Structure formats: structure tokens, C-alpha cells
Structure 1
């Protein structure tokens, strides 16, 4: 590729996976790669594992990220903390910090630590300082009552500490649009639908050619904090939680009371599950188990948290979700440390569980189209990206509105990072991070 000063870096920091791409002035773009157990990876799992080891008379905390974090967690040879899906905390004012052994970590500390592990493992040396860095961000952050300004302060603090003080922050679907636009052969109005783990984001873009130059006009952006993790939540809530005491009762001061549901709400969210061991939830569950009318299910619940089985549960849920995209029925199976949960689940059941989330996503798509001032029939192409776009109920949403002939897709992981890196080669990357009520005409180099 070109000399370092000519390169731009695109960072797609995702809820489940992260991809970093590098582009040069000629338009060539490549993803950073990572060698892990004789496999070359382009996708870096968004996960952190901290562990303590004795050094002399004290202990020292170590940290790994990506597949190395998962590997360290699964080995489980020392005391450790495993954290995944922490992007969901970005816009949460209630999340101030978490204690990991002897240190306190804010969101920006977790993000900075994670990116440092990624850069350390990269096959190509990368310095974020003195580079044109473009970071993706969702149109709307995930979580209850998300604070967009807070999330962006945290992003800027994290990447600023990494040397990217002048980084540009661009909507993730706009990055995907930039990537997709290179293959357009004629003028087109394009709806880009980006489905991540925590958010679903949509951009309507008008592309046209004039004098051999491809121009892009952003017409609208819309997003919602619902995506793949919300679908996972429904599987856990419907299949797993009822077998771990949800709906059960306990006795207190002569009264029979329902076990509070908030423990199960936290349990079914990957980011919250990663914190339950240190948040006080585990201690409270132990106390509830002592007075529960039927303590056995609660004891299994406690074992899952106590033995850090959250990642195994995550894999079981993901496997079931993927299977239901290809088959009408599958068996959900989760097993570990004496906990064994099996259940047959049909696609029809799954779609009934996620029906409200799909409806909310559909309304967000409709809002993006209406805000663009166009009709569904005016959309020439629909570009789908992200793993959740393969869920049949989601694909059917777009088929019903636009038809098969207008749908297209690309690599579910890499397209956003590639587009972000290419935006870094544009004359003014900041113009791509416009607010929904602004208009601009952009040139694709």
C-alpha cells in the first residue's frame, strides 16, 4: 500500500465484533488481520478478559482482547473478569464505572484498553496518531434513554487517549453506503440498512454521476437501539430464564413474594450479564435462594454467574438463532457445571417472540424513508449489511416493501470498516457525519 502518511483508517467498533480497515489514496482498502491459532482473522471479537497473577508479594492484572480474551476466559486458570457487548454502555448515564480487581474502569477506559489489544495483535503495525482516522457510530445508541452527547464524549476521550484526537465520527450505515456506492453504474437512490448487535441503523442516500465523478447526497438517517442482542434476549427470556427460577417465589416476613424480575432482565442482556458477578446481584441471589420456595432453579442461576458461563450461554443462543435462519426448527442446548437446558424451538415461536422488535425496526425504516421525502417505490437499491439481516423475519420486512430484485448485500462484517476507511480519503470526511436535518452534496473520490 501507500506510504503511512497517505493512509486512512476506518474503525467499525461493534457490539459483538470489531473490524479495522486501511485505505490508500488509490482506493485500495484492506482489513487488518490477526493470526490466532493458525487462522487468519479479519474480525476481532469485541470482548475483554482481565485476570490476576501473583508477582512477588502481590498481584498484577493482565488483559487480553478479541479471540485471545475468549481463549483466556475459557481456560479459566486464575481469577478473571470477562466483559462482552460493552458498547451498549456507551450512552448510559447510569454506567459510570466498573471495578476490575484493584482498578476502576469507565467506559472510555474499557474502549481504549480494547483497541490497544487489537492494535497489539494486528499483523500490520498501526499508529492512530498522525493518521486520518474515521470511527463509525450508530445513528442511535443502544440502551434505555441513550445519551448521544455522553456517548460521543466517551468515544472522543477514548480515541483521543489513543492518539486520534482529530478522528472523524461517521454514521455506520453511511460507511456502508460509501463502500456500496463504488459498484453503482448509474444514478440511484439507495437505502442502506445496517444491523449490528446493539443497534439497527438506516440511511437513504442519493448517488449520481457528473463529469465522471460520483456524488452522494444524504437524504435521511434513522436508527433504533434494537438488533441482534434484543433477539438473543427473547431466546434467553423464553427458554432459559423460566428454568432458572423466573416466575418463582420466596418467603419473607411470613409473606410469599415473587422473585424480582430485574435479575432475569439483567441476565438476558449480554452487557449486563458480564457485570452481575461484581454488581451485587450474585450476593442478592444467594440470599434469595435461601428463602425460595423452590431453591434448585435459583441455584442453577447462581452457578451460571458464579462459574462465568455467560459466554457458553451466548454461543448456545447464537447457534440457535443461526439455525433458525436456515431451518424451521432447532434444538436449543446449553450445558455447563451441572446446568443442562434443552428445548425444541421453532422459527414460528422465535418470530412471535421478536414480533414487537421487528415492528419497531419496520417503523424506523419507514421513518427513514419518510424523512428522505421519497416513497418506497422511489428506492432503487436496498443494501443490507450485518448478521441480523439474515434473520428471515427481517429479510421478509424488506422483501415485502421492496421486492427481491432491489435487495443486495455484502460481507456482513467488513463493509462498514471498508467504507469508513475510504471516507478517510475523501476531501472532507467530517461532511459525512451530518445531522439528520442537514443536507449536503458529497464527492466520492
Structure 2
């Protein structure tokens, strides 16, 4: 079947690079050239006029203002927006800019925009696919066809390369790009199409991580002989230094690619007359720890498909980083499969998407055949004699500790935090530790509403985005809600006075704003328009009910067995009856996109799912956009411990000597693994997120009904125990910040002890005997509050910040406040004797 109008366009928008292929009416395909090359960097730059530049232009402009540059916008698809310079730009607009540039080049090449196919990672859910489709619409594409990347790759090998895959047989696709590794097992169906049986990968492993390992290795030699050059490359002070840094990284990447063809490659060093030389042996020694993770993940994905490696009909390598010969050799030696490697591995996904979207007529079934004998592992040619240069040009042997030590997801050799910070312009550091400065007041105090001179009763404020919402009550039955812009310390609006009975406070989250009160018989939520302060709707909930907010929905769990979803205006969008049994437990399913955001960031990056358990133990999973039940199964008792995170539901017995089981929320609650800790007196107190692929299990270890220990489990690695607190450490809670962990232990009667631990669970910095709140993925701050005893009088309070990566303490100053405060990653706001006050502590 040919595409309509003769031409067709396939686009693979990757994390690091974008590739497009045009198919002509005669069936021939060719890459679409952008700036004379078939591969375009997936980079964006926002200039001061608001225009978005893409590709190589974006990389060049990044040298003028790195803060306006985002190298991997696809990696941010779970975020509603990306901060570029002084503006939050919707992520969908960044992706649309890339697709618009491709569309322009396609029109120049064929005279019109052909029917288009877009590819996406197999693990993406409807929400992320929807963002990509929305970006295509903004870029002017008629509704594109959507094809999973591994399916596109499989079609390429079958229909373009004519690799026979018997129908009913399965192949693995190993997509090793610049930013990420994606792996999938797909089955060739009898109708001719492909079905994804299992998928996985490593978000933190790509070609850039190998580049970073090489830069760090070469940097040891440069720093030892010309330290001023290395300082300029890692801490550029001007535009020339930044250009040199870019050139050096480009040359390192070029040497890496050259070593896929030769045994020795030169690496020019800006500012040094002679070049360094890198050998393939050095490259492979540095890359091996990283690639070992890739092989292990490949084996895991194959196993999760219910197959052994020897049952596959093939292993196909795509993505630019798969050129490294060691990739194929390690996969072959560990899995026993001879991979199929291409000369241009960037093209198969884009070109294969055309074969998938516009398939040929079905061919007769191919009977299963006996696979040929496995090919011998690839043996590189004997390297030529290495050049003899001066002592500086011969890199010293890499010190073993930094690239052989046990690692976490942030990377092995490449995951050195200092390196990630120094080279953040190219290797995106998702958890930066940003410096803090002493508190500086923004504007003047915002006076209390109501026209009274005395200080009203002040409730705990809440913040959504950069707007703070303060609830005050000058009289027992009257209340006002005030919105304050934190960036200017200006009043946005005061609500009209409310007649109230028993106020609980104000809630502002993800575009939803309401006042919570108790009228003597039921809880009452009064929804408020965040833009105007006008009352929208009022809902009443029974005492046995509870609510959660996720994905722009307020989810109402009703004790009578029903669950309802409300929008930001308080209007019910759906209601699902789960059968009448009384609901006992339930919450929403969070993601790392949510957990790693800055404090009070208005987010949409969640899976949009909720779960609930009734009194008979039946667990139901619901889509919060539609209320549809996506899975239901009896797993455990209703009073056991449940926690939903990153597409996984964790269930732990509510008994001593417990076991913990993980279930796949996207696969009918299939069991993934079970973990049982040693010790008969352990009991779960709480489970929470502690990293992108980790959960913290807080425990009561001595049966006194108080938390006194914590275990950290890596759920992507079969529930492997990553760390547990010593028995003499009385842990009360733990908070993640990127790959670091703040562990809170019991101190004296008034103070707890806060200690940062790095990604290897080693103490970082000195302990702090102050209450701390996470304000972003790399920092903590003291944020005073008085939930139990709201204050009318001010009190002198000192403010302290803490860096997660280094454990550095920042003294921010002392202020006289009413201890009802909230914060973002830039601003702090508190009530005072004279009104609402805002400070900045970052520029």
C-alpha cells in the first residue's frame, strides 16, 4: 500500500538528535538534509525576542547565553514547561519548533508537507504521546500517524533490509542514542505487523555519558600539565572559553566515532599546539562499566517478555551510539546473539516508520527456520604503532577508583557530579545544586485585607507556581483569601469576605484552588478562580471520604464505594461506582516528574492514575481523566500498606516480619518481584519515593509504633536493597533530592537531626538540627509553619539553606515573622506584623 499523494515523511525526534526520511512516489527513500546533514541536534534556544531557534543554530547561540539553551527537550516531555533564561516556555512549543523546522525542510525538498509518521518510545503512555501529537499540530502537520520506535526499527529490518523474521517469532531492538537507551522485544504477528511484548531501557545512559567519561579521563592529563587550559574548558569565563569547550567536546565525540573504524584517534585540545591521542582500548576500558548496565537491562527486557535470548530471531542495533564495536561484542558474549549492526544506525527508526505506517501487501507466512550458527565475536584490527609525542600527549593511565566503583543511575564513569555541573551546557544535570544568598526583600509588605489595624488570624499559606495564597480571619466567622505575586510582592487580588464556621486552610495545587472548612456535619470545599478570586462552586464531603489532586483533577474517594473526578471549577467530570463495598484506602500514582519538581511547581507530569482498595481487599486502578477502571484485582488486605509510583504499585503486609511485592500498574497488576527483609520485628510505617527508580520503606523496627529505620529499594533492579540505615540510627523520615537523600533522625526533645547522604549513601556535609523542606531537586530550606498553633505574634526566626549534592550550609539571615511561611525555589514568603512579606534568596 503506498502513501497518499505519493510522498511520505517519517520523523524520529530523538532525545539528542532528530532524523527525517522522505519516501518518493517511486518507493525510494532518502534522508532529509538539515543544514547539509541527515542528523539534526534536537536542541532549542530561546532568544530575547521570544523566538525559538533549533538544531545547530541553537547550539551556536548557546555560547552567548547557556541559560536560554535546552539540549534535550524530548527528555523534558513530562514537564509542562522548561525555564529558558527568564521565561517558562511550554515543552510542547519546544518540540513544535523542532518539528516546524523539519516541515520547512520537507516543503523545500518536495514542494509540500507530505503525510507524516512520528515515532515515540514504546514505554510512553497516552499523555506523552498526546504532547507529541499536540506539538505536531502546532507545527502545522495534519494528524500524523504514530508508530512505536521499536516497531519502526523492526519494519526497517524486515522490509528495507529484507532480514527474514518468521511470523510468530520475536526480535529485540537495542536503540542506543545520544541521551538514552531504549530496549524492546517485538513479535512479528501473523498479519504482518509487530507487537511490543516488553520494553525498558535506561534514561540516564546514552552516548553523551560515554563522551563525559572520555572528557573526564583526558581532563586528568590536561589538568596535570596545563591546569589553566582545563580550568578554561570546565569553567569558561567568556565567549572564547565557551567556544573552546564546545570544540573540545565535539572533538572528543568525533574521536569516539573514529575509534569505531580505527584503533587510534587524535583529540585536539584548544589552546595547546599538539593533540592528545585516544586508543580504542582506552575507550573500551572507560565505556565497559556503562555498557555492562546496558547489557544487563537488555537481558532483563528479554526475560520480562517471557523469552530466553536464544529464542529470539534477531537482535537489531540502532541509534548513533551503537556504532561502538564494544556494544555488539558485549551483547554477543553475554547473550549469545550475534547483533545486526548498521553503518548508519541513526536512520532505521525514521525510515522504518514509513514501512510500518504504509505497509506493503501481506506476504505468505514464513515457516520457522533453524537460525544459522552464531557469528564469531568481532575482533578489531591490530592497532598501528601509537604516535610518539611528548610526555603531555600520552594520557596517563586512568585511576581505577572513579570508573570502577559501584554506581547509581546517574552514570558510572560519567556520573561524577562535579563533571556534570562543569559541563551542564552539554550533559544536562537534572539536579543542580544552585547557590543561595542572604534574604533580600522583594517590594514592600502586602497589607492585610479587611481594613483593620490589628493582625488577623493567619493560616498556613499555599503556593501554586509563583502565586502565594494567604487565608486570614480577622473575626471568628469572617475570612479573606489574598493572592500575592511572589516575583513582584504585589497583591493580585483580595477575595470578598467569606462567612465561615471552622476553617481548615487553603489548598492550591496544579491549577486547583479551594478553601477547606468543616460546617459541623461535613467537610466543605469552596472552589476559587485563581485569576480573579471569585467563588466558583461549593462541594460537601462526608467524614469518611478523602480527596487527592493529580493531573488537574481533584479525585474524591467516597466511603460508599464510588470515586469521582472534579475539574478546577469544582464541576464533576465523572463518577465511577466500584460495586458498593466500602472504600478503605486510596491515593494517586505519582511519578518522578512530580517528585523531583521544585516546591509548589504547578505540574502536569503525572501518569494520571489513582488507586483504591475496598474493605474486601479489591484494588482498583482508575484513569483520572475519564474515571475508567484500567485494572482490578485482589492483592492484599485493605489495611496493608500501598504506594503507587512510576507505573508500579508497592504492597507491604501490615504485620511484623513483612514482605513487599511490586505490581505493574500498566499490565493488569502483574506481579514483578517480592522482597522480604531480614528480621522478625520489622513493620512498615510508610513507603515513599526516594529517587527515580527507588523507594524508601520507613520501618518500625522495635514494635513501639514509631518510625526508627529506613530501607532504600531499587525497584528497577528487581527490588534490590540499595541501602538500609544502621540499627543505632533512629530514622524518623527521609526526603530525596535528585540522587541524594536527606535522612532525618531523632535528636533531643525539640530538634531533629538532618544529614545529607550522597548517591553512594555516604554522609555529605555536617548535620543540621533544624527542620528542612525540599525546595527543588538539589536544595533544602527551613520553612517555618505552625499548623498546630497558628501565631498572632511575630517571632525571630533564622533561615538556613542546605545543598543536596555537597551538604553545604547557607546562612540566609534572621527575620521577625509570624511562623506561617511557604517557599519556591526562588522566593520565601511569611506573614509579619505588618502584612505578607516576600524575600528572594536566589538571583
TM-score range, shorter chain: 0.5 to 0.7
Verify the 8 A CA contact 1:203 1:221 in the aligned structure 2.
Answer: yes
**1:384/1:436 Cα in 2 relative to 1: closer, same or farther (>3 Å)?**
farther
How high is the TM-score relative to the length of structure 2?
0.37
- 1:106 is matched with which residue: 90, 97, 111? 90
Q: 1:201: Cα distance to partner?
A: 1.7
Go from structure 1 to structure 2 and tell me whether the alpha carbon gap of 1:30 and 1:67 turns closer, same or farther (over 3 Å shift): farther
Deviations 1:263-284 (A, max 9, x none): xxxxxxxxxxxxxxxxxxxxxx
Residue matched to 2:258: 323
- Does the aligned pair in 1 maintain the 2:173–2:316 contact within 8 Å? yes
Q: Distance in 2 between matches of 1:304 and 1:319?
A: 25
The corresponding residue for 2:40 is: 44
State the structure with more CA Rg.
Answer: 2
Structure 1 residue 394: Cα displacement: 0.7
**Distance in 2 between the 1:233 and 1:362 partners?**
20
The whole-number CA distance in structure 1 between the counterparts of 2:307 and 2:164 is 21
For residue 66 of structure 1, report the CA deviation from its aligned partner.
Answer: 3.7
Shift of 1:223: 1.6
* 1:93-126 deviations in Å (ceiling 9; x for gaps): 59732127xx653332222222222222331244
Distance 1:82 1:34 in 2: 26
Q: Secondary structure at the match of 1:334?
A: coil
Alignment correspondent of 1:116: 100
Matched, 1:234 2:230: no
Instruction: Note the residue ranges of structure 1 that are not aligned, 5 or more in a row.
Output: 53-59, 142-147, 246-293, 428-434, 439-445
The residue correspondences of 1:176-255 to structure 2 (distance < 5 A) are: 176-182=153-159, 183-185=162-164, 187=166, 188-207=169-188, 214-225=192-203, 226-240=205-219, 243=222
The answer to whether the 8 A contact 1:140-1:223 is kept is no
Instruction: Give the ranges of 4+ consecutive aligned residues of structure 1 lying more than 6 Å apart after TM superposition.
Output: 78-82
Match status 1:13 vs 2:13: yes
**Which residue is equivalent to 2:313?**
380
In structure 2, relative to structure 1, the CA distance for the partners of 1:82 and 1:311 (3 Å cut) is farther
Structure-2 separation of matches of 1:45 and 1:23: 22
Select the residue among 71, 76, 87 that pairs with 1:90.
Answer: 76
Secondary structure at the aligned position of 1:203 is classed as: strand
Change (3 A) 1:99 1:340: farther
Q: Deviations over 1:169-198 (max 9, x none)?
A: 433222101221222445143222221111
The CA deviation at 1:328 is 3.7
**Contact 1:196 1:388 (8 Å CA) reproduced:** yes
C-alpha change, 1:27 and 1:160, in structure 2 (3 Å) is: same
Q: For structure 2, which runs of at least 5 residues remain unmatched after alignment?
A: 361-664, 669-843
Relative to 1, partners in 2 of residues 1:45 and 1:94: Cα closer, same or farther, differing over 3 Å? Answer: closer
Per residue, is there more strand in 1 or in 2? Answer: 2
1:191–1:379: 8 Å Cα contact kept in structure 2? yes
In structure 1, what is the Cα distance between the partners aligned to 2:26 and 2:333?
A: 36
Tell me: CA distance 1:347–1:163, structure 2 relative to 1, closer, same or farther (3 Å): same
The secondary structure found in structure 1 opposite 2:184 is strand
Equivalent position to 1:136, from 119, 125, 130? 119
Aligned partners of 1:121, 1:396: CA distance in 2, in Å? Answer: 38
Question: SS at 2:82's partner residue?
Answer: coil
Q: In structure 2, do the counterparts of structure 1 residues 349 and 411 end up closer, same or farther at CA, with 3 Å as the change threshold?
A: closer
Q: Secondary structure, in 3 states, of the residue corresponding to 1:326?
A: coil
The answer to whether the aligner puts 1:359 opposite 2:292 as a matched pair is yes
CA distance in 1 between counterparts of 2:66 and 2:202 reads: 33
Structure 1 residues 186 and 79: CA distance shift in structure 2, 3 A = closer
Q: Equivalences for 1:153-164 in 2 at 5 Å?
A: 154-164=131-141
Distance 1:2 1:214 in 2: 16
- Aligned residue pair count: 353
Residues 240 and 341 of structure 1 are in contact (CA less than 8 Å); yes or no, is this contact kept in structure 2?
no
CA–CA separation in structure 1 for the residues paired with 2:216 and 2:357: 42
Determine the structure 1 residue equivalent to 2:351: 418
